[in-house]
Amino acid sequence: MGPSKISEIARGAMRIEEKGFRFYSAMARMTEDERARQIFIKLADEEKEHLKVFEKLLVCYDHDEFLEPEVSEYLNAVMQENLFPVDVEPGQAGWKAETMKDALAIGVQAEKDAILVYHELLSRTRSDNGRKLLYSLIEEEKMHLVELRSYYEEI
């Protein structure tokens, strides 16, 4: 059974941001392409900032709500399928980013997943401050998606 409260979804989203930070940091260390390195460093820094935003956001869920089972199952599926491969180190068996294109494709899919989760949280958040924080996160993730996709098409 997956998360059943809004706060649990927010904590799951924090784990996605943490995995994104670790993934983008690893890719920045691995790549010899300076433009790619700068993109990955920027994304890693922004994922780290998103963790701080979620810490603030969790305060908005002091009157936590349970989610409908189908919503909970959907969000759990999205978060379980998140593609950041951080359980293994770069170069080890199971590391999914063999090429720069692989790494960029992983980032694109992971950003899409994050946007789905944040939209669901946005639709269920009553606090104006919480909604504002989520809206800004969604906009940043959209920018990440565009940047990664654009670079993917260039190489």
Total-model pTM: 0.84
Domain residue ranges in the chain? 6-142
Q: How many residues does the chain have?
A: 155
Domain 6-142, CATH homologous superfamily name and number: Ferritin, core subunit, four-helix bundle (1.20.1260.10)
Distances (CA, A) of 74 to 19, 34, 55, 69, 154: 20, 38, 23, 9, 33
Distance CA 31, CA 135 (A): 32
* Tens digit of each residue's pLDDT (9 = 90 or more) over 8-33: 888 888 888 998 999 899 889 988 88
DSSP 8-state assignment for residue 2: -
Per-residue pLDDT, 103 = 86
| Amino acid code (one letter) for 3 | P
CA atoms within 13 A on the CB side of 24: 24
57 contacts 10 by C-beta, under 8 angstroms: yes
Per-residue pLDDT, 71 = 85
The residue assigned the tokens 């920027």 is 42
pLDDT in tens, the chain (155 residues): 566 788 888 888 888 899 899 989 988 998 888 988 999 999 999 999 999 998 888 888 766 778 888 888 888 888 877 667 666 555 655 566 778 888 899 899 999 999 999 998 899 888 888 889 899 999 999 999 999 999 999 98
